[in-house]
Structure 1
Amino acid sequence: MANGDTSFPKIADASWWKLRDLFKRKVPAIVTPTYLATALSMGEASARSNLIGPFKKIGIIDSDGKPTDRAYDWRDDHKYKAVCEALIEEYYPQEIKDLFHSPDADLQQLTNWFMSHARCGEPAAKMYARFYILLLKADPSEAEAATAKRETVKKAPAKPKKKEAKSTKKPEAEVSDSDSREPPVAPIPAPPAQPIQTVLNNAPELHINIQLHISPESSAEQIDKIFESMAKHLKDFNK
């Protein structure tokens, strides 16, 4: 750097484009923290540290907060690139201009360079790196892309929370034995009993009851003769 200062400008892209848009509409007579807080909907302390100081550093406003001639060139699309090139020439050493001279420079490598040379933490170094790349691009149309991005973020609907599906499954402890078994099968009624017929040679069985009246006075020989005669006459009856 020309003045030997080891700090570098760091302005957030959104603040850069918002303030430039204000200047394109009307250049204010003086830029104060209250002016920025009202116009950009931010706190006065934030406006003082994040905008007033950095814009004084790069010569957009003077020590009293009044816009400079550079401010008028900065808001002009045709002169915007020349302003960016002048800022790089004035506020950055030759080493970084030789190492990182294209807008597609690696952001992490550029961040590491700022961490080493500005002796700062990574968050601050990343802001230095992003602003340096913004100056390398030197493209006023970037404002439209930044605005579109902000509008998209504002209009993006909040993601609905997923409702937890209620489980219909019973807890294991509540499952009864009847739930875990298959439903009982109804017994099939037996057909009514049919009358049983005893069939012998396809003909009904014939039962004959024979009653014998033997006189008590009959001798044993007479009784034997009676049974012998019965056996003789009935032996072929079932044939």
Structure 2
Amino acid sequence: MAEEKKKGYPKIPRANWFLLRDKFKQRTPERVSPSYVASALSMGEASASANIIPPLRAFGLIDDAGKPSDLAYDWRDDTKYAEVCKQILEATYPQELRDLFHDASAPAKNVESWFARDAKVGQAAARAYAATFLMLLEADLAKAKEQNGSKPKTTNAAGKPSKATAPAKAAKAVPAAAAPTAHEVAKPVNEHGGSGDDGGGRRGFSPKLHVDIQIHISPDSSPEQIDKIFESMAKHLPLKG
């Protein structure tokens, strides 16, 4: 028996959906190409071609050549946004799903379970399908602006979030606080607070003073920075030997 073919449903990140809509509001492009999407959403062309162009076609916002449809012009209109979402839902999703979940307050887990069963996909794909469906079902621009405050996550060619590279922290050498000089360290002190020599040729009680110096160096420090730290120690703390 031939294996039943898996179904597929559109999926598009919420932030990318609204950011692209803002671009259309500013100026609707003559053609929505992978290059256009990559520039608009700060992602690679391969990712744009694999993850953004297909749902736009599935929703009827662009044709096979990438030309925006009349629906795309209505999509960018705030007063028509809810109606556009309704049209997309009716044209894209089966009646059963829309009958079961007809309100944006529907439990996301239940919607995910439906997609997992119907499309025979794993948890990650079912979650992405459900998120897109619920976003269209919500069709509320006011809520969208509240929930879409963070920057959109760019995706790589595999459709996974790209990891942002954090700038390397420059190692900072923390100056020692008023370190004693070698002369002060080596000079003995008697029990009365004076020097070891009591002035009469006799040497009094001369305890030895031992000083421990701890230096905390960041693991991100380069070899040159570490050398500079020890050069500074040698300069300001000249020790015998």
TM-score (norm: length of structure 2): 0.59
1:151-230 alignment, distance < 5 Å = none
Q: Which runs of 5 or more structure 1 residues have no equivalent in the other structure?
A: 152-239
CA RMSD across the alignment? 2.2
Q: Does 1:16 align with 2:17?
A: yes
> What does residue 142 of structure 2 align with?
141
Q: Does 1:126 align with 2:122?
A: no
- 8 A contact 1:33–1:45 mirrored in 2: yes
SS state at 2:40 partner: helix
> What does residue 108 of structure 2 align with?
107
Separation in 2 of the partners of 1:9 and 1:17? 16
Separation in 2 of the partners of 1:14 and 1:7? 21
Cα deviation digits, residues 19-70 of structure 1 (max 9, x gap): 1010000000111111111121101111011111110111101100011100
- 8 A contact 2:58–2:92 mirrored in 1: no
Cα deviation digits, residues 189-217 of structure 1 (max 9, x gap): xxxxxxxxxxxxxxxxxxxxxxxxxxxxx
- 8 A contact 1:11–1:50 mirrored in 2: yes
- Percent of residue pairs bearing the same amino acid type: 46
> What does residue 211 of structure 2 align with?
none
Deviation at 1:142, TM superposition (A): 3.5
1:36-47 alignment, distance < 5 Å = 36-47=37-48
Separation in 1 of the partners of 2:38 and 2:59? 20
- 8 A contact 2:25–2:76 mirrored in 1: yes
SS state at 1:86 partner: helix
Seen in structure 2, the aligned counterparts of structure 1 residues 6 and 141 have a Cα distance that, compared at 3 Å, is: same
> What does residue 96 of structure 1 align with?
97
SS state at 1:141 partner: helix
Deviation at 1:148, TM superposition (A): 2.1
Deviation at 1:147, TM superposition (A): 4.0
Q: Which runs of 5 or more structure 2 residues have no equivalent in the other structure?
A: 1-5, 153-241
SS state at 1:148 partner: coil
Seen in structure 2, the aligned counterparts of structure 1 residues 147 and 114 have a Cα distance that, compared at 3 Å, is: closer
> What does residue 75 of structure 2 align with?
74
SS state at 1:48 partner: helix
- 8 A contact 2:111–2:130 mirrored in 1: yes
TM-score (norm: length of structure 1): 0.59
Separation in 2 of the partners of 1:16 and 1:52? 11
Q: What amino acid maps onto 2:108 in structure 1?
A: L
Cα deviation digits, residues 135-193 of structure 1 (max 9, x gap): 11111224422442339xxxxxxxxxxxxxxxxxxxxxxxxxxxxxxxxxxxxxxxxxx
Separation in 2 of the partners of 1:39 and 1:150? 13
> What does residue 66 of structure 2 align with?
65
**Higher alpha-carbon Rg:** 1
| Structure holding more helix per residue | 1
- 8 A contact 1:14–1:146 mirrored in 2: no
